[in-house]
Amino acid sequence: MHELFTTGNIILKTLESHGYKGYFVGGCVRDHHMGRTINDVDITTDALPEDIERIFEHTIDVGKEHGTIIVLVEDTPFEVTTFRTESEYSDFRRPDQVIFTRDLYSDLERRDFTMNAMAMNDDFTIIDPYDGMDAISHRMIATVGLASERFNEDALRILRAARFSSQLQFEVSEETRRAMAEHAENLRHVAVERSVTELTKLYLGMDPKRGKVLVVDTRLNKYLPFFDRVDDASFLRTDVRSLEDELALQIHLSPELAQSLSALKLSNAVKSYIGNIIRLLDMVDSASIRELAYGFDTGILANAISMIQANGWLETGDRRAHLQSALNMKPALPIADASEIDLDGHALMTLFNARGGRWIRTVLTAVEQEILYGRLENDRYKIIEWVKAHVEFEAGDIKITEK
Protein backbone atom coordinates (compact mmCIF):
# COMPACT_ATOMS: atom_id res chain seq x y z
CA MET A 1 0.00 0.00 0.00
CA HIS A 2 1.27 3.48 -0.88
CA GLU A 3 2.76 5.36 2.07
CA LEU A 4 0.32 8.26 1.58
CA PHE A 5 -2.56 5.86 2.22
CA THR A 6 -0.74 4.38 5.20
CA THR A 7 -0.17 7.82 6.70
CA GLY A 8 -3.63 9.06 5.71
CA ASN A 9 -5.16 6.05 7.40
CA ILE A 10 -4.10 7.60 10.71
CA ILE A 11 -6.65 10.34 9.98
CA LEU A 12 -9.39 7.85 9.10
CA LYS A 13 -8.84 5.82 12.28
CA THR A 14 -8.63 8.97 14.42
CA LEU A 15 -11.95 10.17 13.01
CA GLU A 16 -13.48 6.76 13.72
CA SER A 17 -12.21 6.82 17.31
CA HIS A 18 -14.14 10.07 17.79
CA GLY A 19 -17.36 8.65 16.35
CA TYR A 20 -17.03 9.90 12.79
CA LYS A 21 -16.54 8.26 9.41
CA GLY A 22 -13.66 9.01 7.06
CA TYR A 23 -12.80 7.80 3.58
CA PHE A 24 -10.18 8.29 0.91
CA VAL A 25 -11.95 9.77 -2.08
CA GLY A 26 -11.65 10.83 -5.70
CA GLY A 27 -8.65 10.61 -7.96
CA CYS A 28 -6.42 8.85 -5.46
CA VAL A 29 -8.87 5.95 -5.24
CA ARG A 30 -9.11 5.81 -9.04
CA ASP A 31 -5.33 5.79 -9.41
CA HIS A 32 -4.94 3.18 -6.67
CA HIS A 33 -7.42 0.91 -8.44
CA MET A 34 -5.60 1.42 -11.74
CA GLY A 35 -2.14 0.91 -10.26
CA ARG A 36 -1.10 4.44 -11.20
CA THR A 37 1.28 6.72 -9.32
CA ILE A 38 -0.30 8.37 -6.28
CA ASN A 39 0.71 12.02 -5.91
CA ASP A 40 -1.73 13.18 -3.27
CA VAL A 41 -4.58 11.80 -1.20
CA ASP A 42 -7.88 13.48 -0.36
CA ILE A 43 -10.15 12.49 2.49
CA THR A 44 -13.87 13.03 3.03
CA THR A 45 -15.72 12.75 6.34
CA ASP A 46 -19.03 13.38 8.06
CA ALA A 47 -17.19 15.47 10.67
CA LEU A 48 -17.84 19.19 10.37
CA PRO A 49 -14.87 21.55 9.82
CA GLU A 50 -15.02 22.63 13.46
CA ASP A 51 -14.89 18.99 14.54
CA ILE A 52 -11.85 18.35 12.34
CA GLU A 53 -10.02 21.32 13.89
CA ARG A 54 -10.93 20.10 17.37
CA ILE A 55 -9.84 16.50 16.79
CA PHE A 56 -6.48 17.15 15.12
CA GLU A 57 -3.63 19.15 16.61
CA HIS A 58 -2.14 20.51 13.39
CA THR A 59 -4.67 21.96 10.95
CA ILE A 60 -4.84 24.75 8.37
CA ASP A 61 -8.08 26.43 7.32
CA VAL A 62 -7.96 26.61 3.51
CA GLY A 63 -11.69 26.74 2.82
CA LYS A 64 -13.71 26.21 5.94
CA GLU A 65 -16.85 27.66 4.38
CA HIS A 66 -16.64 24.90 1.75
CA GLY A 67 -15.81 22.26 4.33
CA THR A 68 -12.10 21.85 3.65
CA ILE A 69 -9.40 21.75 6.32
CA ILE A 70 -5.80 20.63 5.79
CA VAL A 71 -4.65 18.14 8.43
CA LEU A 72 -0.92 17.65 8.90
CA VAL A 73 0.19 14.14 9.84
CA GLU A 74 3.92 13.43 10.08
CA ASP A 75 4.50 16.72 8.23
CA THR A 76 2.37 15.50 5.32
CA PRO A 77 -0.67 17.63 4.38
CA PHE A 78 -4.04 15.99 3.67
CA GLU A 79 -7.14 17.84 2.50
CA VAL A 80 -10.04 16.70 4.68
CA THR A 81 -13.45 17.81 3.46
CA THR A 82 -16.86 17.37 5.06
CA PHE A 83 -19.48 15.39 3.10
CA ARG A 84 -21.45 17.94 1.18
CA THR A 85 -24.14 18.50 -1.41
CA GLU A 86 -24.35 21.57 -3.57
CA SER A 87 -27.11 23.87 -4.78
CA GLU A 88 -27.45 25.49 -8.21
CA TYR A 89 -24.40 26.77 -10.10
CA SER A 90 -25.71 30.03 -11.49
CA ASP A 91 -22.28 31.15 -12.73
CA PHE A 92 -21.25 27.73 -14.18
CA ARG A 93 -18.20 27.77 -11.87
CA ARG A 94 -19.09 27.38 -8.20
CA PRO A 95 -22.16 26.34 -6.22
CA ASP A 96 -24.41 29.10 -4.93
CA GLN A 97 -24.55 27.25 -1.60
CA VAL A 98 -22.68 24.35 0.02
CA ILE A 99 -24.75 22.11 2.27
CA PHE A 100 -23.02 19.67 4.62
CA THR A 101 -24.49 16.18 4.86
CA ARG A 102 -23.96 12.97 6.82
CA ASP A 103 -24.39 10.77 3.74
CA LEU A 104 -21.32 9.58 1.79
CA TYR A 105 -23.35 8.64 -1.30
CA SER A 106 -24.79 12.16 -1.53
CA ASP A 107 -21.25 13.51 -1.46
CA LEU A 108 -20.08 11.13 -4.20
CA GLU A 109 -23.14 11.95 -6.30
CA ARG A 110 -22.00 15.56 -6.79
CA ARG A 111 -18.66 14.56 -8.35
CA ASP A 112 -17.82 14.84 -12.01
CA PHE A 113 -17.09 11.38 -13.45
CA THR A 114 -17.95 7.91 -12.19
CA MET A 115 -14.26 6.95 -12.02
CA ASN A 116 -13.76 9.84 -9.58
CA ALA A 117 -16.86 9.07 -7.51
CA MET A 118 -15.35 6.22 -5.53
CA ALA A 119 -14.32 6.13 -1.88
CA MET A 120 -12.10 3.77 0.12
CA ASN A 121 -12.34 3.01 3.83
CA ASP A 122 -9.62 2.33 6.39
CA ASP A 123 -9.59 -1.35 5.40
CA PHE A 124 -8.85 -0.23 1.84
CA THR A 125 -12.18 -1.54 0.57
CA ILE A 126 -13.51 0.50 -2.36
CA ILE A 127 -17.05 1.87 -2.16
CA ASP A 128 -18.36 2.32 -5.69
CA PRO A 129 -22.06 3.28 -5.87
CA TYR A 130 -21.85 4.73 -9.39
CA ASP A 131 -19.92 1.94 -11.14
CA GLY A 132 -16.61 3.75 -11.42
CA MET A 133 -14.66 0.50 -11.49
CA ASP A 134 -16.79 -0.74 -14.39
CA ALA A 135 -16.08 2.50 -16.27
CA ILE A 136 -12.36 2.04 -15.64
CA SER A 137 -12.45 -1.56 -16.84
CA HIS A 138 -14.05 -0.34 -20.08
CA ARG A 139 -11.64 2.61 -20.23
CA MET A 140 -14.59 4.96 -20.40
CA ILE A 141 -15.18 8.49 -19.09
CA ALA A 142 -18.80 8.98 -18.06
CA THR A 143 -20.43 11.53 -15.79
CA VAL A 144 -22.20 10.75 -12.53
CA GLY A 145 -25.82 11.12 -13.52
CA LEU A 146 -26.85 13.29 -16.45
CA ALA A 147 -23.89 14.81 -18.28
CA SER A 148 -25.83 18.00 -19.05
CA GLU A 149 -26.45 18.58 -15.34
CA ARG A 150 -22.81 17.98 -14.38
CA PHE A 151 -21.52 20.35 -17.08
CA ASN A 152 -24.08 23.02 -16.20
CA GLU A 153 -22.87 22.87 -12.61
CA ASP A 154 -19.20 23.45 -13.46
CA ALA A 155 -18.23 24.09 -17.07
CA LEU A 156 -14.59 23.25 -16.34
CA ARG A 157 -15.65 19.60 -16.15
CA ILE A 158 -16.07 19.72 -19.94
CA LEU A 159 -12.38 20.45 -20.37
CA ARG A 160 -11.46 17.98 -17.63
CA ALA A 161 -13.03 15.21 -19.73
CA ALA A 162 -10.60 16.01 -22.55
CA ARG A 163 -7.73 16.17 -20.07
CA PHE A 164 -8.56 12.75 -18.62
CA SER A 165 -8.90 11.33 -22.12
CA SER A 166 -5.27 12.34 -22.73
CA GLN A 167 -3.98 11.35 -19.30
CA LEU A 168 -5.64 7.93 -19.11
CA GLN A 169 -6.09 7.15 -22.82
CA PHE A 170 -9.81 6.62 -22.17
CA GLU A 171 -12.73 7.10 -24.53
CA VAL A 172 -15.64 9.37 -23.62
CA SER A 173 -19.15 7.96 -23.47
CA GLU A 174 -21.52 9.06 -26.22
CA GLU A 175 -23.82 10.93 -23.82
CA THR A 176 -20.88 12.71 -22.20
CA ARG A 177 -19.34 13.62 -25.56
CA ARG A 178 -22.66 14.96 -26.84
CA ALA A 179 -23.15 17.07 -23.71
CA MET A 180 -19.60 18.41 -24.02
CA ALA A 181 -20.43 19.82 -27.45
CA GLU A 182 -23.83 21.13 -26.36
CA HIS A 183 -22.41 23.01 -23.38
CA ALA A 184 -19.01 24.00 -24.82
CA GLU A 185 -19.88 27.68 -24.87
CA ASN A 186 -20.16 27.62 -21.07
CA LEU A 187 -16.34 27.51 -21.02
CA ARG A 188 -16.52 31.27 -21.57
CA HIS A 189 -17.60 31.52 -17.92
CA VAL A 190 -14.52 29.67 -16.63
CA ALA A 191 -11.57 31.69 -15.30
CA VAL A 192 -8.78 31.45 -17.87
CA GLU A 193 -6.30 30.33 -15.20
CA ARG A 194 -8.41 27.23 -14.52
CA SER A 195 -8.64 26.41 -18.22
CA VAL A 196 -4.88 26.81 -18.63
CA THR A 197 -4.30 24.39 -15.74
CA GLU A 198 -6.43 21.73 -17.45
CA LEU A 199 -4.81 22.32 -20.83
CA THR A 200 -1.36 22.03 -19.25
CA LYS A 201 -2.31 18.63 -17.82
CA LEU A 202 -3.83 17.55 -21.15
CA TYR A 203 -0.53 18.12 -22.96
CA LEU A 204 1.41 16.31 -20.25
CA GLY A 205 -0.83 13.26 -20.59
CA MET A 206 0.04 9.97 -22.27
CA ASP A 207 -1.89 10.82 -25.44
CA PRO A 208 -2.33 14.57 -25.98
CA LYS A 209 -3.29 13.95 -29.61
CA ARG A 210 -6.35 12.03 -28.41
CA GLY A 211 -7.29 14.93 -26.15
CA LYS A 212 -6.85 17.46 -28.97
CA VAL A 213 -9.07 15.46 -31.33
CA LEU A 214 -11.77 15.38 -28.65
CA VAL A 215 -11.42 19.14 -28.13
CA VAL A 216 -11.98 19.75 -31.85
CA ASP A 217 -14.79 17.19 -32.19
CA THR A 218 -16.71 18.85 -29.36
CA ARG A 219 -15.70 22.39 -30.46
CA LEU A 220 -14.21 23.29 -27.08
CA ASN A 221 -11.39 25.15 -28.83
CA LYS A 222 -13.88 27.68 -30.17
CA TYR A 223 -14.55 28.88 -26.63
CA LEU A 224 -10.99 28.97 -25.28
CA PRO A 225 -8.86 32.14 -25.37
CA PHE A 226 -6.14 32.06 -28.03
CA PHE A 227 -7.33 28.74 -29.44
CA ASP A 228 -10.54 30.33 -30.67
CA ARG A 229 -8.32 32.04 -33.27
CA VAL A 230 -6.54 28.85 -34.37
CA ASP A 231 -8.13 26.91 -37.22
CA ASP A 232 -8.82 23.22 -36.60
CA ALA A 233 -6.34 21.99 -39.21
CA SER A 234 -3.45 23.94 -37.66
CA PHE A 235 -4.44 22.84 -34.16
CA LEU A 236 -4.44 19.16 -35.15
CA ARG A 237 -1.31 19.48 -37.27
CA THR A 238 1.06 19.81 -34.33
CA ASP A 239 2.46 16.95 -32.25
CA VAL A 240 3.73 18.39 -28.97
CA ARG A 241 4.06 17.42 -25.32
CA SER A 242 3.46 20.74 -23.59
CA LEU A 243 1.04 23.64 -23.79
CA GLU A 244 3.97 26.02 -24.21
CA ASP A 245 5.22 24.15 -27.27
CA GLU A 246 1.72 24.15 -28.76
CA LEU A 247 1.45 27.90 -28.36
CA ALA A 248 4.93 28.46 -29.79
CA LEU A 249 4.25 26.36 -32.89
CA GLN A 250 0.88 27.97 -33.51
CA ILE A 251 2.47 31.43 -33.39
CA HIS A 252 5.30 30.17 -35.62
CA LEU A 253 2.64 29.09 -38.13
CA SER A 254 0.60 32.28 -37.77
CA PRO A 255 2.64 35.15 -36.27
CA GLU A 256 -0.47 37.31 -35.84
CA LEU A 257 -1.54 34.98 -33.02
CA ALA A 258 1.14 36.51 -30.81
CA GLN A 259 -1.23 39.34 -29.95
CA SER A 260 -3.73 36.82 -28.51
CA LEU A 261 -1.23 35.19 -26.15
CA SER A 262 -1.88 37.67 -23.36
CA ALA A 263 -5.45 36.39 -23.05
CA LEU A 264 -4.10 33.22 -21.43
CA LYS A 265 -2.51 35.17 -18.53
CA LEU A 266 0.65 33.07 -18.58
CA SER A 267 3.59 33.58 -16.25
CA ASN A 268 6.55 35.63 -17.45
CA ALA A 269 8.70 32.49 -17.40
CA VAL A 270 6.31 30.65 -19.73
CA LYS A 271 6.02 33.65 -22.05
CA SER A 272 9.82 33.92 -22.15
CA TYR A 273 10.11 30.23 -23.09
CA ILE A 274 7.54 30.60 -25.86
CA GLY A 275 9.32 33.68 -27.19
CA ASN A 276 12.66 31.89 -27.25
CA ILE A 277 11.28 28.87 -29.11
CA ILE A 278 9.66 31.14 -31.71
CA ARG A 279 12.84 33.18 -32.10
CA LEU A 280 14.92 30.03 -32.50
CA LEU A 281 12.63 28.55 -35.16
CA ASP A 282 12.61 31.87 -37.00
CA MET A 283 16.42 32.17 -37.15
CA VAL A 284 17.60 28.56 -37.35
CA ASP A 285 17.97 28.72 -41.14
CA SER A 286 20.05 31.89 -41.16
CA ALA A 287 22.13 31.85 -37.97
CA SER A 288 25.49 30.16 -37.57
CA ILE A 289 25.91 27.15 -35.33
CA ARG A 290 27.93 29.25 -32.89
CA GLU A 291 25.25 31.96 -32.77
CA LEU A 292 22.60 29.37 -31.98
CA ALA A 293 24.75 27.69 -29.33
CA TYR A 294 25.43 31.00 -27.62
CA GLY A 295 22.00 32.55 -28.08
CA PHE A 296 19.87 29.79 -26.57
CA ASP A 297 20.11 27.66 -23.47
CA THR A 298 20.43 23.89 -23.56
CA GLY A 299 16.76 23.25 -22.77
CA ILE A 300 15.51 25.44 -25.61
CA LEU A 301 17.84 23.81 -28.13
CA ALA A 302 16.97 20.28 -26.99
CA ASN A 303 13.22 20.97 -27.02
CA ALA A 304 13.40 22.50 -30.49
CA ILE A 305 15.20 19.39 -31.77
CA SER A 306 12.47 17.18 -30.30
CA MET A 307 9.74 19.36 -31.79
CA ILE A 308 11.26 19.16 -35.27
CA GLN A 309 11.66 15.40 -34.93
CA ALA A 310 7.98 15.00 -33.95
CA ASN A 311 6.72 17.46 -36.57
CA GLY A 312 8.33 16.52 -39.86
CA TRP A 313 6.86 19.55 -41.61
CA LEU A 314 9.21 21.72 -39.52
CA GLU A 315 12.27 20.05 -41.05
CA THR A 316 13.51 22.11 -43.95
CA GLY A 317 17.03 21.42 -45.10
CA ASP A 318 19.06 20.23 -42.12
CA ARG A 319 17.48 22.15 -39.24
CA ARG A 320 17.70 19.31 -36.75
CA ALA A 321 21.35 18.59 -37.54
CA HIS A 322 22.11 22.32 -37.34
CA LEU A 323 20.53 22.54 -33.88
CA GLN A 324 22.20 19.34 -32.72
CA SER A 325 25.58 20.79 -33.70
CA ALA A 326 24.76 23.92 -31.72
CA LEU A 327 23.78 21.81 -28.72
CA ASN A 328 27.02 19.85 -28.96
CA MET A 329 29.08 23.02 -29.23
CA LYS A 330 27.50 24.77 -26.26
CA PRO A 331 29.69 23.24 -23.48
CA ALA A 332 32.84 24.27 -25.34
CA LEU A 333 31.92 27.95 -25.71
CA PRO A 334 34.40 30.31 -24.00
CA ILE A 335 31.55 32.09 -22.19
CA ALA A 336 27.96 31.10 -21.49
CA ASP A 337 26.65 34.67 -21.62
CA ALA A 338 27.76 38.29 -21.36
CA SER A 339 27.79 38.17 -17.56
CA GLU A 340 30.89 35.97 -17.72
CA ILE A 341 33.01 38.59 -19.52
CA ASP A 342 35.96 39.38 -17.27
CA LEU A 343 35.34 43.13 -17.53
CA ASP A 344 32.39 45.33 -16.62
CA GLY A 345 31.06 48.81 -17.24
CA HIS A 346 32.76 50.28 -14.18
CA ALA A 347 36.15 49.20 -15.46
CA LEU A 348 35.42 50.80 -18.85
CA MET A 349 34.34 54.08 -17.23
CA THR A 350 37.57 54.09 -15.22
CA LEU A 351 39.64 53.29 -18.29
CA PHE A 352 38.21 56.16 -20.32
CA ASN A 353 37.50 58.45 -17.36
CA ALA A 354 33.96 58.79 -18.67
CA ARG A 355 30.41 58.62 -17.43
CA GLY A 356 28.16 55.70 -18.17
CA GLY A 357 25.99 55.50 -21.24
CA ARG A 358 25.08 53.41 -24.27
CA TRP A 359 28.69 53.36 -25.33
CA ILE A 360 29.42 50.79 -22.61
CA ARG A 361 27.01 48.30 -24.18
CA THR A 362 28.57 48.95 -27.59
CA VAL A 363 32.06 48.17 -26.31
CA LEU A 364 31.01 45.11 -24.29
CA THR A 365 29.10 43.72 -27.28
CA ALA A 366 32.21 44.03 -29.43
CA VAL A 367 34.29 42.34 -26.72
CA GLU A 368 31.66 39.62 -26.39
CA GLN A 369 31.88 38.80 -30.11
CA GLU A 370 35.67 38.71 -30.06
CA ILE A 371 35.65 36.27 -27.12
CA LEU A 372 32.85 34.16 -28.57
CA TYR A 373 34.65 33.62 -31.87
CA GLY A 374 37.96 32.85 -30.21
CA ARG A 375 39.81 35.98 -31.29
CA LEU A 376 40.20 37.25 -27.72
CA GLU A 377 40.86 35.40 -24.49
CA ASN A 378 38.42 36.06 -21.64
CA ASP A 379 41.10 37.60 -19.41
CA ARG A 380 40.67 41.02 -17.81
CA TYR A 381 44.09 42.36 -18.76
CA LYS A 382 43.95 41.05 -22.32
CA ILE A 383 40.48 42.51 -22.76
CA ILE A 384 41.72 45.92 -21.54
CA GLU A 385 44.60 45.75 -24.00
CA TRP A 386 42.19 44.91 -26.80
CA VAL A 387 39.92 47.82 -25.84
CA LYS A 388 42.87 50.22 -25.80
CA ALA A 389 43.86 49.05 -29.26
CA HIS A 390 40.42 48.92 -30.88
CA VAL A 391 38.19 51.46 -29.14
CA GLU A 392 38.32 55.18 -29.81
CA PHE A 393 36.34 57.28 -27.38
CA GLU A 394 35.94 61.02 -27.58
CA ALA A 395 33.25 63.26 -26.08
CA GLY A 396 30.84 60.37 -25.71
CA ASP A 397 31.30 59.12 -29.27
CA ILE A 398 32.55 55.57 -29.67
CA LYS A 399 34.26 53.92 -32.58
CA ILE A 400 35.43 50.30 -32.85
CA THR A 401 38.42 49.90 -35.16
CA GLU A 402 39.93 46.86 -36.85
CA LYS A 403 43.57 47.79 -36.23
Q: Is the pLDDT of residue 89 over 80?
A: no
Measured between alpha carbons, how far is 96 from 92 in angstroms, rounded to an integer?
10
Average pLDDT, the chain: 94
Beta bridge partners of 120: 24, 126
- CATH of the domain spanning 139-224: 1.10.110.30
CA distance 339 to 335: 9
Distance CA 267, CA 243 (A): 13
Query: Residue 320 contacts by C-beta under 8 Å, 6 or more apart in sequence?
Result: 305, 308, 309
Query: Which class would CATH give 339-400?
Result: mainly alpha
Nearest to 43 by CA among 87, 76, 65: 76
Angle 247-251-256 from CA coordinates, rounded to 5°? 135
Give the integer Cα–Cα distance in Å for 199 and 244. Answer: 10
271 phi and psi angles, rounded to 5 deg: -65, -35
Q: What are 187-220's pLDDT values in tens digits? A: 999 999 999 999 999 999 999 999 999 999 999 9
CATH tag for 3-138 (out of 3.30.1360.30, 3.30.460.10, 3.30.360.10, 3.40.50.720): 3.30.460.10
pLDDT tens digits for 272-317?
999 999 999 999 999 999 999 999 999 999 999 999 999 999 998 8
